[in-house]
Structures are given as structure tokens and as C-alpha cells.
């Protein structure tokens, strides 16, 4: 079982090949807006380093977001085309899941925070039965963190559980605000956990394929995190009153 | 403080000059929404604005491409929403990414973007005047970072500028 | 490249997601265009009408359809011989001009397909693609020809000397001709897209009733339509009783006059054997009629491609990709999209 993983959801472009033993090769770059220029040569490089041809792959994994639109479209389009052309299934994961998977477990709650730009972040709130993706202003996240601390305090869990770990570029960008949001203050992941690491995506994907959590490439779509169904209420566009 | 100003123009050249005058108040992350009917002078205004920031290429209408980006300082993304029908299509243009990377976004048919960007923007309205060549251009500063610039902007629009609620000088 | 020279073309520069397979730049095997109508049928009308995210969802299904039309499965293998070799020799995609978010989907898809199949990638200028539209339907065409490319986003006059060799003679300095049609139509309350509406309404109007300006430009073969658009608005404001039919007919007359006159002048200047229409506005009946008539009178051939070939399609991208691969080889995989790509003279 060999998987090629593609990560372009945020500021990094990453490609990795992994099998059941773990990552075999990976390449990561921060190309600014040049995701389309960087991704495909990286795929060729990673295959060369891992000494395989694309035809020897068994599945394609891709981070479907949320994150930055431009990169997301580049990565998802490439994953769909590769899988289609090679006759392979696709494994998808959200950027928040990948970030969370990259963190050490057992120390305390991990909340991944992705920077959506223009004063918005996406985060994954620990909740049962499944974690809940939220998108909003950093202040809303701060409020949720305060509530979380309060709940933990009421349940007498504050001691011994350890502080909340905040990772992702959104956490780093709004560190000042989020630091003051809860007591004890959250711990922040470093820049290595600013973007979802592609190796973590690859490892997640290996596990997912074992569980049969694959899909057809045609059904894969980015998870943008921003939906706005409203019709534009035009007043200036139509000029002349209808004349018969 | 007064957050509006109005000025009249009698030619395309004057409309271009207004665009150039406002250009020098623009910085990274600024949004300018242009509102006005067909032929009211929005693209002409952008021609002046882009040229004033060092743009060398001709400014053509971005209606069909939806956006043109100019290599100016700061870089200007000239957007046109005329063809759009849903707010989602405006979201899909990912203008946040331009703004966050130091760009200025100037939006024709900007009323369509008001739900997303209207709270913190310079809104420029274009109305037809009495004669074919005459236009009334009014600017409205929205949000703290724009209201702090209104005095300078009013000065840039030149003599004949009126505050809100008064007739633009002919 | 095999002798068959089969290129898969992908086009996502604006509203259409399109894919096509063309042999040796001349023979269209299959051409699929997912108009927005199809999109609504597929997705139940819940997705946006234009560009952006639609391409991500449509690129693979459209490519799959195009491959199937060429007798190939999604893996590029013949349905008869699924274990056989890939039946595509190169993958071409539009790299510009267009909307960055839209272009990137086609470029990323095409490069990934090329990587997967181990075939060359070719990045194509969308505008160059339009130059080959007439050739794809009229293989007997004799060069050089003048191509008038008129669409919603572009208005260009080009001398096509040979495949891959052309000279740009002029372009619009403000609005494209198609944009003027659409904006005037919506202003008159005729709906969108407005080109066909103006065309239809003009039949019942008097084209000589209003004398709209024919803009002059600094360059002999350049165009300007912004002033005409404003003149229409001014006229209607000043004459509220004028009928839409007379405005439509007079406006269309002004546009067609300028387009045809400059094409004739250009054809004469370069000693062209004929003239071709390209782009969405080439569907306009008045433009087609006048174009054919004027060149007939001068003993020159005129080529009026079908509507499907005039509007954005991937067959023209595959053709351009084939010629480019022949002349200058593949495009490196580190190429990106170029939203403001211009058409420049190429010899």
C-alpha cells in the first residue's frame, strides 16, 4: 500500500509518499502564491526520491481545506486528475484534522486554528461525538476558549489535564488575543505546526485506506469553509425601465 | 467628523484626475467600492488611479475576466462584479488573499460586495449630471481607517468639494 | 509523440470547463463543453453560475467525457485494450489570459494528467487557440488570413501566416465588443447574455434611426467601444420614448460597421487570402452576413466557424498545443497560470 499525499491548503506546498511503515519521502516548500508552479515538480521529485513511478501508487491523499482558496484548488484539482488518470481512489482529510493528527496526544486538548485571512479563522472544537468545525472572528474563538476553561473548572478538571494546545497559522497570528482568553493560558505550537504537515496527512491516509475510507476522485471537492447563498440585490445594474 | 465629500466633474479627464488624487491615499489591504450605473465613469476613474500608482499597461474593462491585476505600488486588483448574481461568487474571487498580501482591491459595481467589504471601505458613487459629460462623484469613508483619512481625501478632490448633505459645486 | 499526434486540450480560463481530443492539430476527435446550463443540471442549481469553484468540480468529469468520446477510459487507455498504452500523446491547457482561480484548475489538472501518463504538458495562450477555430472546421483554408476575434473579453485583429506564426494588428483599448453588447442589452432590460437578444431585436428596428459614434483610435486597427456604450445610455436618457428595437439596431450597426471596416482594411494591408471570424460575437447574424458579403465583393474567402467553435472550447486549445509542441517543445512542469497573458506577434 503506497500513498501519495498532497498538501496545499495553507501557506505550504507539501508532497509525501508513505506506506504502512510510515513516510518514505516528502518535500515541503513555502512558495507564496506559486502553489501551481511548485506542486507538480514536487510530485515528480518525491516519486524519484521514493524510487517509484506514479503507476506504482495505490491511492492519492489530499487536504481539502479549509484554508486559502487558490492553493486548495490547485491541490484538489491535481489530486483528482492524478487519481483519475491512474485509476486510484482518493482519501481526503481536512486541514484541521491533519494539524490535530500532527500533535502529540494525551497531554491535553488540541485545538487547530487555520488563518482564513481578513480577520477570520477556522478551528476545530473538541466535542462529542465528533469535533466541530467553526469559522469566525478570532474573538469568537477566544469566547469559546473561555467557556471551555470555565467548563473544565466546574468539572474540577483544570488541574492535571494540562493546558490547551493551540496549533496552526491562525493560532500564531492571533496569539496575543488567544493567550488572554483562558486560564491557564493555552500553549502555542511552533512554526513547524503552522501548516498541516504533509507527512501527517500521509500517515492519516494510510490508516483511512485500511478502514476503507476512500472515495472516487470525481466526488472530491474542496471544503472552503465560507458559504454565502444570498443573491446579490442589484439596484444599479439594470438601467432603463422596461419598455414594451 | 464628516465622513463624506462630493465633487462634480465635467469631463473624463477630470474623473481620471479624481482617481489619481485618491490613489495616493491607498495602502495595503484597502478596499474601494465603486457604485454607479452604466457609463457613469467607474472604469475612467480606475484608469486615473492605476496610472497614478505607476501602472503602465492600459486599463481595460475587467467585466469578463472579473479581475485584472496591475503591477503598481501597492499592487491594484481591479475587480468588476457586473456579471455576478450570488454573493458566493464574490467570495470565490478570494480577494482576502490579495488584501492580506499587501494589495489594494478596487471593485466596480461595488454594491454587490457591500455585505462582505462594506463596513471598512471607501465607497465612491458616480451619478450622471445635467449634461452628458457631467458627473457627480461622492466619496464616503467607512470604518476607522478610512474616516481618519477623510480630511486629506477631501483636500485631494480639490476646490469645489462639498461635505455631506450639500450640493456639489458646479 | 505517436504519428497520430493526439492532444488532450483543457480550457478553464473563464466560465466554461472544456476538454477535447484533437489529432495533429487539425482533426477534432471529441470536444466537450460544460456550459453553465449543464452545470445546473448536474448540481441542481445550487452552485454559482460562474467560474471559480465550478471548474474544480467539473474538470475531471469533463475530461472523462472527452476521453470517452475518443474511445478511452479515464486512465487514457482504450476501452478495447485497458492494459494497453495510454492513447494520449500530450496534454495542453490554457495558461492565460483569464481569471487566476479558474486558470489554475485547468493548469493543475493538465500537469497532473501529464505526470500520471508520462507525456508532455503544453501551456497554451487562449487567444492563440481562437486563431485555429476556423482551420479546425475548414481544413482547406489557405493562409495568410486575417482573424477578427470578437468575444465578451477580447477584441483583436490578427494576421495568421502559418500555424504558430501570427502578427497582432490591433486590439480594443477599453471594452470588448461582446461586453458592449451585453451591457447595452442589460441596460435596455433585455436580459443576459445580451448578444443574441440585441441580434433578434435589431431585426425589427431601424438601423439608420440613430447615428451612434464610430470611435476612432490612435492605432489604425485598434478598437474602442466604451464611448459607444456611454452614447447609448446618453441617448436613451435624452429620448425616453425611443424603442429598444431602434436602439438595438442602430447600436449593432455601429459595432458591425467598425469591426468589418477594420478587418477589410487589415486584410488588404497584409494581402490576405481570406478572413476568419472567431469568438462568441461571431455568432451575431448581422456581423456574419456583412462579413461574408464584404469579402465576397472583394473576391476573398470568408470563414465563419460554427457557434460551438467560435465560443470558448478546448479543441482550439488542443490544436494550439499541438502546433506549439511541434515548434517549441513541452512546457516545464513549474509553469503557472498567467492571468494577464497578452497575444504577441510570433514568427
**Cβ contact, residue pair A236, B37, below 8 Å:** yes
The pLDDT value given to residue C217: 85
Predicted local distance difference test score (pLDDT) of residue A37? 97
Cβ pair A234:B86 closer than 8 A? no
Q: Does A29 touch chain C (CB under 8 A)?
A: no
The domain ranges of chain C are 6-132+310-328, 142-305
Mean pLDDT for the stretch of residues A57-73? 96
Nearest CA in chain C to A232: C48
* Cβ(B126)–Cβ(B34) below 8 Å: yes
* Separation CA C289–CA C287 (nearest Å): 6
Average pLDDT score over chain C = 92
pLDDT score, position C50: 54
Q: Which of residues 15-44 of B touch C (CB under 8 A)?
A: 37-39, 43
Q: Are B80 and B66 in contact (CB under 8 A)?
A: yes
Compute the Cα dihedral for C64, C65, C66, C72 and give only its sign. positive
- Please name each of the domains of chain B with its CATH number: 2-165 (3.40.50.300)
Task: Please say if the pLDDT value at position A160 is more than 70.
Answer: no
pLDDT-derived band at C35, boundaries 50, 70, 90 = low
Residues C1-29: what's their mean pLDDT? 93
> CA nearest B85 in C: which residue?
C49
With pLDDT > 70 as the criterion, what percentage of chain A qualifies? 93
**How far apart are the C-alpha atoms of C321 and C124, rounded to whole Å?**
6
How confident is the model over C267-296, as a mean pLDDT? 96
Residues of A in contact with B92 (CB under 8 A): 69
Residues A209, A213: Cα–Cα separation, whole Å: 5
Segment A116-136, tens digit of pLDDT: 988 899 999 887 777 789 999
Please state, in angstroms and rounded to a whole number, the distance separating the CA atoms of residues C152 and C169. Answer: 19
Does B1 have pLDDT greater than 70? no
pLDDT in tens, B52-87: 999 998 899 899 889 999 999 999 999 999 988 888
- Cα A47 from chain centroid? 23
The confidence band for B159, taking pLDDT boundaries of 50, 70 and 90, is low
- pLDDT tier for residue B95 given thresholds of 50, 70 and 90: very high
Q: Is A70 on the interface with C (CB under 8 A)?
A: yes
Q: How far apart are CA C147 and CA C149, in angstroms?
A: 6
CATH numeric code, C6-132+310-328: 3.30.420.40
Nine cell digits for residue A43 = 510530485
Note the maximum CA span of chain A: 78
C-alpha distance from B159 to closest chain A C-alpha (Å):
29
The angle, 0 to 180 degrees and rounded to 10, between the axes of the packed helices C100-117 and A69-86 is 30
Is residue C62 within 8 angstroms of chain A, CB to CB?
no
Of the candidate ranges A34-38, C92-96, C98-102, the one whose mean pLDDT is the lowest = C98-102
Read off the pLDDT band of C36 (50, 70, 90): very low
Is B67 touching A (CB cutoff 8 A)? no
Probe site for chain C from B57, B65, B77 (most C CB atoms < 10 A): B65
Mean pLDDT (whole number) for C34-57: 57
Compute and round to an integer the Cα radius of gyration of chain B. Answer: 15
As a whole number, mean pLDDT of residues A181-193 equals 91
The predicted structure's pLDDT at residue A234: 80
Taking the C-alpha atoms of residue B79 and residue B87, their distance in angstroms, rounded to an integer, is: 14
Q: Which of A12-21, B6-15, C51-60, C208-217 has the lowest mean pLDDT?
A: C51-60
Which tens digit of pLDDT belongs to each residue from B107-142? 999 999 999 999 999 999 999 988 888 999 999 999
**Would you say A168 and A194 are in contact if contact means Cβ atoms under 8 Å apart?**
yes
Predicted confidence (pLDDT) at residue C48 exceeds the cutoff of 50: no
Residue B75 in grid coordinates: 499592487
Model confidence band, residue B103 (pLDDT cutoffs 50, 70, 90): very high
Cβ-based neighbour number of residue B169 at 10 Å: 11
pLDDT of residue A118: 80
- Which residues in chain C have Cβ-Cβ distances shorter than 8 Å to A74? 104-105, 108
Q: Which residue from A minimizes the CA distance to B89?
A: A228
Residue the block writes with cell 476573398? C300
Element (DSSP H or E) covering residue C267:
helix C244-270
Mean pLDDT estimate for chain A? 90
Interface of B with A in 104-163 (CB under 8 A): 109, 111-112, 115-116
pLDDT at position B27 is 95
Work out the percent of chain B whose per-residue pLDDT is above 90. 69
The DSSP bridge partners found for residue B128 are B135
Q: Is the dihedral of CA C313, C314, C317, C318 positive or negative?
A: negative
Q: C-alpha angle B86/B90/B96, rounded to 5°? A: 155
d(CA A64, CA A197): 14
From chain B, the residues in CB contact with A116 under 8 A are: 96
Could you list the beta-strand ranges (E) of chain B: 4-9, 31-36, 67-70, 76-80, 104-108, 121-128, 135-142
What percent of chain C is predicted at pLDDT more than 90? Answer: 84
Query: Which residues from chain C sit within 8 angstroms of residue B89, using beta carbons?
Result: 48-52
The mean per-residue pLDDT over the stretch C71-94 comes to 97
The beta strand positions in chain C, using DSSP E, are 6-11, 17-23, 27-34, 90-96, 121-125, 145-150, 155-162, 165-171, 274-278, 301-303
CA dist C213 and C225 (Å) reads 10
What sign does the dihedral B113-B119-B120-B124 (CA atoms) show? positive
**CB-based burial, C24-47: b 16+ in 10 Å, e otherwise:** bbeebbbbbbbebebbeeeeeeeb
Q: Are A76 and A220 in contact (CB under 8 A)?
A: yes
Closest to A110 measured CA to CA, from A94, A95, A97, A92: A97
Q: How many residue pairs from chains B and C have C-beta atoms closer than 8 A?
A: 82
DSSP state at residue C282: G
Question: C182 by DSSP, 3-state: which?
Answer: helix
Rounded to an integer, what distance in angstroms lies between the CA atom of residue C105 and that of residue C59? 8
Residue A110 pairs in a beta bridge with: A165
Q: Which residue has the cell 470578437?
A: C150
Residues 116-145 of A with CB under 8 A from B: 116-118
Q: What is the pLDDT of residues C298-322, one digit of tens each?
A: 999 999 999 999 999 999 999 999 9
Grid coordinates given for B90:
464574490
Q: To which residue does cell 478511452 refer?
A: C72
pLDDT at B169 over 80: no
Contact C244 A243 (CB under 8 A): yes
Give the chains touching C; criterion: ≥3 Cβ pairs < 8 Å: A, B
CA distance C1 to A82: 21
> How far away is chain B from the Cα of C53, in angstroms, using its nearest Cα?
7
Asked if A61 and A202 count as a contact pair (C-beta separation under 8 A), the reply is yes
| Predicted TM-score (pTM) of this structure | 0.94
Output the average pLDDT for chain B: 90
Chain C residue with minimum CA distance to A53: C116
**Do C6-132+310-328 and C142-305 have matching folds?**
yes
C325, C22 contact by CB (below 8 A): no
Residue A159 pLDDT more than 90? Answer: no
Report the run of H or E that residue A42 belongs to, with start and end.
Answer: helix A35-49
- Residue C188, chain A, CB below 8 Å: the answer is yes
Q: Which domains does chain A have, with CATH numbers?
A: 3-95+196-235 (3.30.420.40), 104-193 (3.30.420.40)
Please tell me what DSSP assigns to residue C72: B
Instruction: Quickly state the pLDDT bin for A72 (edges 50, 70, 90).
Output: very high
Closest residue, chain B, to C51 (C-alpha): B89
Check B100 against A117: CB less than 8 A apart. Answer: yes
Residues on chain C touching B68 (C-beta within 8 angstroms): 339-340
Nearest to C31 by CA among C303, C281, C312, C325: C312
Q: Does residue B41 sit at the A interface (CB-CB below 8 Å)?
A: no
Q: What's the grid cell of residue B165?
A: 448633505
Question: What is the model's pLDDT at position A153?
Answer: 73
Answer whether residue C46 shows pLDDT above 50. no
Residue-level pLDDT at B51:
97
Please list every residue in chain B whose beta carbon sits closer than 8 Å to the beta carbon of residue A230.
Answer: 86-87, 115
The reply to whether residue B97 touches residue A70, judged by beta carbons under 8 angstroms, is yes
Q: Which residues pair with A120 in a beta bridge?
A: A117
Q: CB-based contact (8 Å) between B88 and chain C? A: yes
Q: What is the CATH number of domain C142-305?
A: 3.30.420.40
pLDDT at C37 over 50: no
Amino acid at each position: 500500500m503506497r500513498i501519495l499525499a498532497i498538501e496545499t491548503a495553507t501557506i505550504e506546498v507539501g508532497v509525501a509518499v508513505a506506506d504502512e511503515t510510515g513516510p518514505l519521502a516528502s518535500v515541503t516548500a513555502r512558495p507564496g502564491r506559486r502553489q501551481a508552479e511548485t506542486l507538480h515538480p514536487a510530485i515528480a521529485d518525491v516519486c524519484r526520491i521514493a524510487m517509484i513511478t506514479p503507476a506504482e501508487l495505490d491511492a492519492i491523499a489530499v487536504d481539502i481545506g479549509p484554508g486559502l482558496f487558490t492553493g486548495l484548488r490547485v491541490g484538489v484539482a491535481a489530486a483528482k486528475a492524478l487519481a483519475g488518470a491512474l485509476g486510484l481512489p482518493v482519501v481526503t482529510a481536512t486541514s484541521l484534522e491533519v494539524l490535530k493528527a500532527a500533535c502529540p496526544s494525551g497531554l491535553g486538548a488540541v485545538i487547530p486554528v487555520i488563518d482564513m485571512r481578513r480577520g477570520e479563522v477556522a478551528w476545530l472544537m473538541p466535542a462529542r461525538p465528533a469535533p466541530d468545525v467553526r469559522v469566525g472572528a478570532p474573538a469568537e474563538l477566544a469566547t469559546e476558549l473561555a467557556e471551555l476553561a470555565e467548563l473544565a473548572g466546574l468539572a474540577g478538571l483544570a488541574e492535571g489535564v494540562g493546558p490547551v494546545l493551540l496549533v496552526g497559522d491562525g493560532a500564531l497570528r492571533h496569539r496575543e488575543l488567544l493567550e488572554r482568553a483562558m486560564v491557564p493560558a493555552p500553549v502555542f505550537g511552533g512554526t513547524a505546526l503552522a501548516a498541516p504537515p504533509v507527512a501527517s496527512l500521509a500517515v492519516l491516509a494510510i490508516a483511512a485506506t485500511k478502514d476503507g475510507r476512500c472515495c472516487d476522485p470525481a466526488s472530491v471537492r474542496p471544503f472552503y469553509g465560507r458559504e454565502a447563498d444570498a443573491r446579490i440585490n442589484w439596484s444599479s445594474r439594470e438601467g432603463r425601465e422596461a419598455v414594451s | 467628523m464628516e465622513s463624506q465629500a462630493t465633487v462634480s466633474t465635467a469631463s473624463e479627464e477630470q474623473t481620471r484626475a479624481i482617481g489619481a488624487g485618491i490613489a495616493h491615499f491607498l495602502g495595503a489591504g484597502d478596499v474601494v467600492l465603486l457604485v454607479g450605473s452604466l457609463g457613469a465613469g467607474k472604469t475612467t476613474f480606475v484608469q486615473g488611479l492605476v496610472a497614478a500608482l505607476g501602472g503602465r499597461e492600459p486599463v481595460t474593462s475587467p467585466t469578463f475576466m472579473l479581475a485584472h491585476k496591475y503591477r503598481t505600488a501597492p499592487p491594484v486588483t481591479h475587480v468588476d462584479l457586473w456579471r455576478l448574481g450570488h454573493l458566493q461568487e464574490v467570495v470565490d474571487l478570494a480577494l482576502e488573499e490579495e488584501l492580506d498580501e499587501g494589495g489594494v482591491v478596487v471593485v466596480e459595481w461595488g454594491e454587490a460586495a457591500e455585505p462582505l467589504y462594506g463596513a471598512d471601505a471607501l465607497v465612491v458613487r458616480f451619478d450622471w449630471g445635467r449634461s452628458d459629460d457631467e458627473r457627480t462623484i461622492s466619496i464616503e469613508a467607512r470604518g476607522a481607517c478610512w474616516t481618519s483619512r477623510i480630511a486629506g481625501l477631501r483636500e485631494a478632490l480639490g476646490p469645489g468639494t462639498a461635505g455631506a448633505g450639500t450640493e456639489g459645486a458646479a | 509523440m505517436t504519428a497520430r499526434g493526439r492532444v488532450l486540450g483543457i480550457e478553464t480560463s473563464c466560465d466554461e470547463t472544456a476538454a477535447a481530443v484533437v489529432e495533429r492539430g487539425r482533426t477534432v476527435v471529441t470536444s466537450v463543453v460544460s456550459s453553465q446550463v449543464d452545470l445546473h443540471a448536474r448540481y441542481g442549481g445550487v452552485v454559482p453560475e460562474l467560474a471559480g469553484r465550478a471548474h474544480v468540480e467539473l474538470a475531471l468529469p469533463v475530461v472523462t467525457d472527452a476521453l470517452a468520446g475518443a474511445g478511452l477510459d479515464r486512465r487514457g487507455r482504450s476501452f478495447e485494450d485497458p492494459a494497453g498504452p495510454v492513447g494520449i500523446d500530450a496534454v495542453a491547457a490554457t495558461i492565460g489570459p483569464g481569471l487566476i482561480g479558474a486558470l489554475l484548475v485547468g493548469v493543475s489538472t493538465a500537469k497532473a494528467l501529464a505526470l500520471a501518463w508520462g507525456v508532455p504538458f503544453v501551456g497554451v495562450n487562449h487567444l492563440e487557440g481562437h486563431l485555429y477555430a476556423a482551420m479546425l472546421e475548414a481544413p482547406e483554408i489557405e493562409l495568410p488570413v486575417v482573424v477578427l476575434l470578437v468575444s465578451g473579453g477580447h477584441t483583436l485583429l490578427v494576421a495568421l501566416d502559418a500555424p504558430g506564426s501570427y502578427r497582432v494588428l490591433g486590439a480594443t483599448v477599453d471594452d470588448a465588443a461582446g461586453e458592449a453588447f451585453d451591457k447595452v442589452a442589460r441596460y435596455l432590460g433585455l436580459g443576459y447574455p445580451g448578444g443574441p437578444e440585441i441580434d433578434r431585436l435589431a431585426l425589427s428596428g431601424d438601423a439608420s434611426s440613430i447615428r451612434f459614434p464610430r470611435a476612432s483610435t490612435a492605432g489604425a486597427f485598434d478598437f474602442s467601444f466604451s464611448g459607444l456604450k456611454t452614447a447609448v445610455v446618453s441617448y436613451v436618457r435624452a429620448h425616453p420614448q425611443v424603442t429598444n428595437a431602434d436602439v438595438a439596431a442602430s447600436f449593432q450597426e455601429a459595432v458591425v460597421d467598425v469591426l468589418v471596416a477594420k478587418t477589410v482594411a487589415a486584410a488588404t494591408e497584409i494581402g490576405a487570402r481570406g478572413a476568419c471570424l472567431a469568438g462568441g460575437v461571431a455568432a451575431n447574424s448581422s456581423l456574419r452576413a456583412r462579413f461574408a458579403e464584404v469579402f465576397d465583393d472583394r473576391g476573398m474567402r470568408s470563414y465563419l466557424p460554427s457557434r460551438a467553435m467560435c465560443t470558448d472550447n478546448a479543441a482550439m486549445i488542443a490544436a494550439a498545443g499541438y502546433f506549439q509542441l511541434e515548434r517549441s517543445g513541452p512546457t516545464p512542469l513549474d509553469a503557472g497560470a498567467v492571468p494577464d497573458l497578452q497575444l504577441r506577434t510570433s514568427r
